[in-house]
Amino acid sequence: MHSQKPAVPQPDSGLLRVRMNLAYDGGPFSGWAIQPGLLTVQGVLEEALATLLRRPIRLTVAGRTDAGVHARGQVVHFDLEPGEWESLARGKMIDPSASLLRRLRGVITKVLGGRVGAPVPYRDLAGAIEVHTAELAPIGFDARFSALWRRYSYRIADRAESWDPLTRNITLWHKHALDVDDLNSAARRILGVNDYLSFCKPRQFSTTIRELQDFSFTRNNDGVVVATVRADAFCHNMVRALIGASLAVGAGEEQPDWLHERLVAKVRDSKTILAPPHPLVLEEVKYPDNSALFGRAEQTRALRTAED
């Protein structure tokens, strides 16, 4: 899902790895990844870090999000020389982590405020990116390769009385009532390790085999249906394609077997429908215990290298 292949510092390299946990409103951005001339989350963060550290900084992200997709539990890392880390305190008796977090928040605000040609007014960008933590990572940590799984949510309001204008930017207003039992019946049939080509936009030389660990739907007390989708990793457009296909089942346009039939067909065609991006949220990225971080990264890296 992520094509970036940064140099990997070994535990004895002398470099310090910094982990940041962050959240963002994806609405104003053209996705996570840097794109020339477009406002992206990575672009804003790397510009802010370069301002602080006075050199280019390259971020590695746990899961790249598409345009309009949000994140509540995104994780990134970058590497610094020990002297760069200590300099963040600017000679004061303060933890570099606390200094980085405070200063970075201020610079992000300035970067967003000075953005020329942004697709939305600055008042709508204020607070769109929030870095919650910035600290030294355990030895062997890799935001991308050490991850055990990523979990997304997707909100669907299928009743007019649940169409709340205050949450319209994170909820799909669906015009047809959905049968949650049918949704779950269909979703259960495609769990496990499978080739999800029918639900992915394949990248050249990359596999579409993934382990879908959880795919389920729940109707909340407010009547909104919330989908949970968890996998070891996701290929491009996979979550939105899974939701798009499920909506056809939930609305009675297709039978619950249809998702499995699509899975077995292993074909991306006109029946591959992407659900809109704005209700999709990266909720959480799970990592193993510190002692297993390096081993997990090496194992995952070997698999991804083989597929590339």
Nearest 10 degrees: Cα torsion 193, 308, 137, 23 = -70
Specify the residue for token string 């056809």: 248
Spacing of C-alpha 269 from chain mean position? 25
Which residue out of 25, 66, 142, 182 is catalytically annotated? Answer: 66
Q: Which residues does 55 contact at the CB level (< 8 Å), separation at least 6?
A: none
Q: What tokens does 271 get?
A: 């029946």
Catalytic-residue membership of 257 = no
Strand partners, 228: 153, 216
Confirm if 200 and 208 have CB atoms less than 8 A apart.
yes
Confirm if 178 and 247 have CB atoms less than 8 A apart.
yes
Q: What tokens does 20 get?
A: 């940041």
Q: Which residues does 85 contact at the CB level (< 8 Å), separation at least 6?
A: 16, 18, 96, 136
Strands 60-61 and 280-286 turn out to be unpaired
Of 104, 63, 78, nearest to 7 by C-alpha is 78
Confirm if 60 and 146 have CB atoms less than 8 A apart.
no
User: Burial level of 65, CB count in 10 A (0-12/13-18/19+)?
Assistant: buried
CA gap 64, 57 in Å, rounded = 17
3-state secondary structure of 182: helix
CA gap 167, 115 in Å, rounded = 26
Q: Active-site residue numbers?
A: 66
